[in-house]
Amino acid sequence: MSRRAAPAGLGRARRLRKRRDFLAAQELGARATLPHHVFLFVPSEAPAARLGVTASKRQVGGAVERNRTKRLIRAAFRELSGLFAPGADVVVIAREGAERMSLPAVCAEWRAGRRHLERARLRAGAAGLRTRSLCPRSCCSG
């Protein structure tokens, strides 16, 4: 029985997984809007760019469409890693129509919007935005 090689995915260190990270991006992030995706950039101390993906039922559709869309976004993020500088948290929000796109179409849209993405990333860094704790208690000061 032969074993297949594990796919080259995004490890835990390259993903946003906590709700507070998504909330910080929503509250503090610099926004770039493309036809089928919205990007939120927040500076971070991570050595590599980290990705968070959201796809709502209202915008994208059922579970199958949402999961396929998120897979495509992760694949495009891996393929176009040069677009995203280290030290940034990137949240990608899928908009209506993203579920019908192919990987080459997603990559083409992101390449075409490179200027918008770069400006938003620079705005996030230039503004000196810091992720702060969104915990209402004083135990998580930061």
Residue closest to 41 by CA, chosen among 86, 95, 96, 101: 86
Residue ranges per structural domain of the chain: 29-125
Condensed to tens digits (0 to 9), the pLDDT of residues 6-25 reads 456 788 889 999 999 999 99
- Beta strand ranges found along 6-87 (DSSP E): 30-33, 37-43, 50-54
Residue closest to 51 by CA, chosen among 89, 81, 84, 9: 89
Bridging pattern class, strands 30-33 and 88-94: unpaired
- Domain 29-125 fold: Ribosomal Protein S5; domain 2 (3.30.230)
pLDDT beyond 60 at 94: yes
Q: Give SS3 for 31.
A: strand
- Beta strand ranges found along 34-112 (DSSP E): 37-43, 50-54, 88-94
Tell me what pLDDT residue 132 has.
Answer: 44
What percent of the chain is modeled with pLDDT above 70?
A: 82
CA–CA separation, 49 and 124 (whole Å): 14
Condensed to tens digits (0 to 9), the pLDDT of residues 65-92 reads 999 999 999 999 999 988 888 888 999 9
**pTM of the prediction?**
0.82
Condensed to tens digits (0 to 9), the pLDDT of residues 43-68 reads 988 888 999 999 999 999 999 999 99
Lowest pLDDT segment from 58-62, 124-128, 129-133: 129-133
Tell me what pLDDT residue 7 has.
Answer: 56
